[in-house]
Amino acid sequence: MNTTEQSEQFNLDNIRKQVSEIRTRGTDETQDNRPSSEINAYARQIAEQFRETNQTPAIIIGQYRLFEFLSLLALGLTLLFFGTAPGDHPFLSKAAVTIAVSGLAIVFLQVADAYQIPILRSPYRYLYRILGPWAAAFAVMAVALFPFDINSIYSIPLLGAWLATGAAFILLARFLFAYGIRNWARNGLMERRAVIVGGGEPAKELIRALEHQPDNDIRICGIFDDRGEKRSPVMVAGYPKLGTVAELVEFARLARVDMLIISLPSSAEDRILQLLKMLWVLPVDIRLAAHANKLRFRPRAYSHVGAVPMLDIFNKPIRDWDGVAKRIFDIFFSLFALALLWPIMLGAAIAVKATSKGPIFFMQKRHGFNNEIIKVFKFRSMYTHMSDPTARNAVTKNDPRVTPVGRFIRRTSIDELPQLFNVLLGSLSLVGPRPHAVLAASHNRTYADVVEGYFARHRVKPGVTGWAQINGWRGEIDSDDKIKFRTAYDLYYIENWSLLFDLKILFKTPFSLLNTENAY
């Protein structure tokens, strides 16, 4: 490795080391230069064009993989049903073989990379990768059944018919799916939306490299750069510069952006770190373009867009199928909780209505996913004429605004149970960082002013319960340390999320409610 390569290696390793410290350091420092939330009218207009959520390639490919498995299985079972004579080997044995062959075919297709975008877009160029795994599944099953006299379990003519019709179906389905992919790409239904961070010649080279990829699924939304027009023109390779990097934060909250690509050399370490301190709070993938770097690392160090290498800096948390799994988890357990807790909720509703004037429910604006404003349901716990929808003045011990019933339901967290409906509607998750009121503050300073990187807790959907809450960080926030510790626990949860972690938090939540020291 020559001196230049050693220098680049040092810079990259140093960037990665400091990036890993940004999260933890962010909870200990005050954010003095928080990005402005104002963006220009043109950038806002562009952001409005990308407000609708799009389907990521990973989700669509996963759905197609499931479709292919179920279709091959249905085809095999249909042939089996009509091709089995009375008195033949038990149908269940043959059905088990059919399921096994269908499953093996999907596994072999996956191993052969037959679910990669280039192969799905142009199946006629990769017939060997498509039909080979299908034939291999039959070959493996034939070898496995050979000691058991395959003819007595599954007739050879029937297997041959399934092999031929299955191959024809796979080819037909893939040709139709390839047409669909190209059509969806043109219509913007299947794409990854990206913003280029940094302009000038490096951005131009990156854009040209992306555009020359035949199977590119990246849709560039625009460019953001702090430099003036002399070093960073207002138009680069046909794409407009929409504003500064500070304005990018607000743009990414308005638009559904999937990826930020930093078009700076890895040697620009200080500048990259400055950008990451502002951008890591967003729920997006952050990549460092590596197409212009002479140094090449091991393949696993990169992700690729076609043949364009990207160094992975941050990954969007709970993405693609993880998000689907978490949503199923939320719906199942929230319905289970409602079925179990409805008598308590009914009793609370009657008590609230009977003991004080006003509505049963109270709605409050809070920060949700990606800093969006959501309305959260609660049982009303204050006198109506004293209620504070902004939560600018936090509830304190023996607060006169709280009703007698309100004190009980707040202490036991029964007032939070209507948020199960928020979960079903999709604005909340069962487990996640607790959503805070929009104007919530600590000593007249907003939480974002107290904790640098505070908004990083909004990279995932907020939850009814969370890791911070079961560790005792619930109730009134009357000091800077409390919001710092709560944010630190929230960020730990985001970085270490799994369904088992959610299940653990959900299981411990009822026991954590026994500690009512800070709940009033």
Question: What pTM was estimated for this model as a whole?
Answer: 0.80
Report pLDDT for 10.
Answer: 45
Is the same domain home to 225 and 337? no
- SS3 of the chain: helix, strand, coil, percent, to 5: 55, 15, 30
- DSSP, collapsed to helix, strand or coil, labels residue 367 as strand
φ/ψ of residue 218, rounded to 5: -90, 130
Residue 180 lies in a domain: yes
Tokens found for residue 365: 């604006």
**Interacting residues of 65 by C-beta distance below 8 A, sequence separation 6+:** 106, 110, 115
Last residue of a domain, one of 139, 161, 187: 187
299 φψ region: left (φ > 0), alpha (ψ -120 to 50), beta (else): alpha
For 287, phi then psi, to 5°, come to -120, 150
**Residues 91 and 236 occupy one common structural domain:** no
- Compute CA 5 distance to the chain's CA centroid, rounded to the nearest angstrom: 35
Q: Give the per-residue pLDDT at 56.
A: 77
Please give the residue range of the domain that contains residue 208. Answer: 3-45+191-316
Residues 294 and 251 in one domain: yes
Question: Can you tell me the distance from the alpha carbon of 361 to that of 356, in angstroms, rounded to the nearest whole number?
Answer: 12
Q: Tell me whether residue 457 is in a domain.
A: yes
* Co-location of 455 and 345 in the same domain: yes
The answer to whether residues 202 and 263 touch, using CB atoms and an 8 Å cutoff, is yes
Residues 312 and 325 in one domain: no
Length of the chain: 520
Region for 90 from its dihedrals, namely left if φ exceeds 0, alpha if ψ lies in -120 to 50, beta otherwise: beta
Identify whether the C-beta of residue 333 lies closer than 8 Å to the C-beta of residue 431. no
Residue 291 domain-assigned (yes or no): yes
Q: Which candidate, 119, 145, 144, 121, places its Cα nearest to that of 132?
A: 119
pLDDT value, residue 190? 74
Q: Say whether both 459 and 504 belong to one domain.
A: yes
Number of domains in the chain: 3
Same domain for 65 and 200: no
Q: Are 487 and 436 in contact (CB under 8 A)?
A: no
What is the three-class DSSP state of 423? helix
- Mapped onto helix, strand or coil, the DSSP state of residue 502 is helix
Question: Tokens representing 229?
Answer: 């027009």
Q: Are residues 66 and 40 in the same domain?
A: no
Q: Is the same domain home to 364 and 445? A: yes
- Residue carrying structure tokens 């996640």: 432
In a structure prediction context, what are the per-residue pLDDT tens digits for the chain, which is 520 residues long? 444 444 444 455 565 566 566 555 554 444 444 444 578 888 888 888 888 777 778 888 889 999 999 999 999 888 877 766 655 556 677 788 889 999 999 999 999 989 988 888 888 888 999 999 999 998 888 888 777 666 666 677 888 888 999 999 999 999 999 988 878 777 667 778 899 998 888 888 888 888 887 767 788 888 998 877 777 788 888 888 888 888 888 898 888 888 999 887 766 777 888 888 888 888 999 988 876 554 454 545 567 776 788 888 888 899 888 999 999 999 999 999 999 999 999 999 999 999 888 899 988 888 899 888 899 999 988 888 777 766 666 676 777 888 888 888 888 888 899 999 999 999 999 999 998 887 776 666 777 778 877 888 889 999 999 998 888 877 667 677 888 888 899 999 999 999 999 999 999 998 887 766 665 5
User: Does one domain contain both 165 and 263?
Assistant: no
At residue 121, what are phi and psi to the nearest 5 degrees? -75, -30
CA-to-CA distance for 154 and 157, rounded, in angstroms? Answer: 9
Q: Where does a domain end: 316, 347, 363?
A: 316
- Domain end call among 279, 297, 316: 316
Q: Beta-carbon neighbour count of residue 279 at 10 Å?
A: 22
> Cα–chain-centroid distance for residue 200?
31
Residues 183 and 102 occupy one common structural domain: yes
How far is the C-alpha of 121 from the C-alpha of 180, rounded, in Å? 9
Q: How many CA atoms, within 13 angstroms, populate the side-chain half-sphere of residue 464?
A: 27
Same domain for 239 and 117?
no
Separation between Cα atoms, residue 40 and residue 61, nearest integer Å: 37
d(CA 216, CA 5): 29
